[in-house]
Structure 1
Amino acid sequence: MEKMRLQKYIALCGYASRRKAEQLISQGAVTVNGNVVREIIMVDDSDDVRIGNKVLKIENKLLYFAFNKPEMVITSMSDQFGRKTVADFFDTVEERVYPVGRLDYDSSGLIFMTNDGDFANFLMHPKNEVTKTYAVSAKGDITDDIKIQLENGVDIGGYITEKARIDNVVNSNGKCSVEISITEGKNRQVRKMFDAVGIKIYMLQRIAIGPVKIGDLKKGRYRSLTQKEIESLGYNI
């Protein structure tokens, strides 16, 4: 287990919320390895953490995975129509992990799987503006005017999208490839944005979340996120 802040450790043990844990720490009610602790320190499951005579232990190990979701896979733990879900790829993982956010059924690419609810909530909260980058293949040319429209925001059905970044535009024989980075996560947003400017996407892959890139991870495979990658997203374990 990676080291984490003491108040989070207490919360994950189910003893108290993080805020209440911070109060207990400041009141001197928490000991770590026999010493009273009144400030936030980093601990893991090798430390003896106690409140009174109660020893606190986390039953479930926190897991963080980068997964390359194939097309035609539901970003859900189950599906009423019997379609393949992301959960089917993690049936050998001891702990139950779930997807952070969504990725369209007919799109592929990077999605995080975890059992850390705080991590999931942090990434999905709009105020944190975690960037998602997509590689797009589509019919039509990305002109300078269309590029400006996409970057400044387009109407996708009563909603004007926030600013986006467009990179690596290649137009050839009536088709284009391009990368788009957004901080929002509306349903099928990238496809709707391109539809709004008359460009029809036929392949969409998420290639990065924040600074974490999909790299050479093959479709249907996953790997553990490193602590450095987790922290690079702005989240402190």
Structure 2
Amino acid sequence: MCIIIDIKGELQLQIRLQKYLSQAGIASRRASENLILQGRIKVNGVTVKELGTKVEPESDIIEVDGKICNIKREFIYILLNKPKGVLTSVKDPFGRPTVIDLLKGVKEKVFPVGRLDKDTEGLLLLTNDGELTYKITHPKFKVIKTYIAHVQGVIDEKDIKALQSGIMLEDGLTSPASVRIIKKLGSSTIIELKIHEGRKRQIRRMCAAIGHPVIDLKRTKLGKLSLNGLKVGQWRYLNQGEINYIKKLKGERKD
């Protein structure tokens, strides 16, 4: 953000366009950057494709796909226990059920924070606050995601050390995971894994890479947030303490 002085001598604030879009509840910062690059954003009637563009929220007119958007002053934060078979998306062109379909009574437009694949259940946040989404999803904040995985075969110490050291996947080496065995079931094992990355289907790919494909997968925690007895398919609003916790997250500096 920077400050400029207009010709009348009044102070005005400028912020990056992608930050404005996230604050307006259009999408997360990363998704907003894609909207800009796709040429779907106009500022004062001119299509903008440069990520460094700055806008004045109080005076500039910002359009997304031809519709004017404004920064929302009231945000909502929803914690959902996502069922298996439901897509983590706002809508699906094939008519399959999405997480938005589960939010009966919620009139505000919200979007998912990160993703859970269709066959994974558990904790998912949804909000119209792009800044909160940024803090949860950006790697520099290292928010720990806790999963309970039921995997094929018996996990041994060699497997645990491999997960703790990092697994080489097609998109690179994973960061070390925290792993503990919950229960051995003869031909399968239930384990708890904690990671801070958010790659696509990461837990499933990690387990498959060490020869233990996932049978069932559930996310139980996101940082300090937990399901806390919330049944599958149910949702609730975050309380103020939970919201404050996320807003106070501090990322690692890269000097």
Q: TM-score, normalised by structure 2?
A: 0.69
Q: How does 1:59-208 map to 2 (within 5 A)?
A: 61-208=74-221
Q: Unaligned regions of 5+ residues in structure 2, if any?
A: 13-57, 59-69, 250-255
Once residues 171 and 129 of structure 2 are traced to their aligned partners in structure 1, the CA distance between those partners, rounded to angstroms, is: 34
Could you report, residue by residue, the CA deviation over 1:119-161 in whole angstroms, capped at 9, with x for unpaired residues?
A: 1111111111111000111111110110010111012224111
Once residues 222 and 5 of structure 2 are traced to their aligned partners in structure 1, the CA distance between those partners, rounded to angstroms, is: 34
Q: Compute the displacement of 1:93 (Å).
A: 0.8
Is the 8 Å Cα contact of residues 171 and 177 (structure 1) preserved in structure 2? yes
- The verdict on how the C-alpha distance between 1:168 and 1:214 changes in structure 2, with shifts beyond 3 A counting, is farther
Q: Does 1:229 align with 2:242?
A: yes
- The verdict on how the C-alpha distance between 1:145 and 1:77 changes in structure 2, with shifts beyond 3 A counting, is same
Give 3-state SS (helix, strand or coil) of 2:125's partner: strand
Q: Compute the displacement of 1:235 (Å).
A: 3.5
Is the 8 Å Cα contact of residues 181 and 189 (structure 2) preserved in structure 1? no
Q: Which amino acid aligns with 2:204?
A: R
Q: Compute the displacement of 1:20 (Å).
A: 4.6
May I ask how many residue pairs the two structures share in their alignment?
Answer: 191
Q: Which amino acid aligns with 1:160?
A: L
Q: Which residue of 2 aligns with 1:40?
A: none
Q: How does 1:21-32 map to 2 (within 5 A)?
A: none
- The verdict on how the C-alpha distance between 1:77 and 1:28 changes in structure 2, with shifts beyond 3 A counting, is same
Q: Which amino acid aligns with 1:192?
A: R
RMSD: 2.5
- The verdict on how the C-alpha distance between 1:22 and 1:202 changes in structure 2, with shifts beyond 3 A counting, is farther
Could you report, residue by residue, the CA deviation over 1:52-72 in whole angstroms, capped at 9, with x for unpaired residues?
A: xxxxx9755210011011000
Once residues 151 and 216 of structure 1 are traced to their aligned partners in structure 2, the CA distance between those partners, rounded to angstroms, is: 29
Could you report, residue by residue, the CA deviation over 1:166-193 in whole angstroms, capped at 9, with x for unpaired residues?
A: 1243222121001000000111000000
Is the 8 Å Cα contact of residues 60 and 95 (structure 1) preserved in structure 2? no
Could you report, residue by residue, the CA deviation over 1:40-94 in whole angstroms, capped at 9, with x for unpaired residues?
A: xxxxxxxxxxx9xxxxx97552100110110000000011111100111124212
Give 3-state SS (helix, strand or coil) of 1:233's partner: helix
Is the 8 Å Cα contact of residues 156 and 193 (structure 1) preserved in structure 2? yes
Q: Which amino acid aligns with 2:175?
A: E
Q: Which amino acid aligns with 2:144?
A: T
Q: Compute the displacement of 1:23 (Å).
A: 9.3
Q: How does 1:34-49 map to 2 (within 5 A)?
A: none
Percent of residue pairs identical: 34
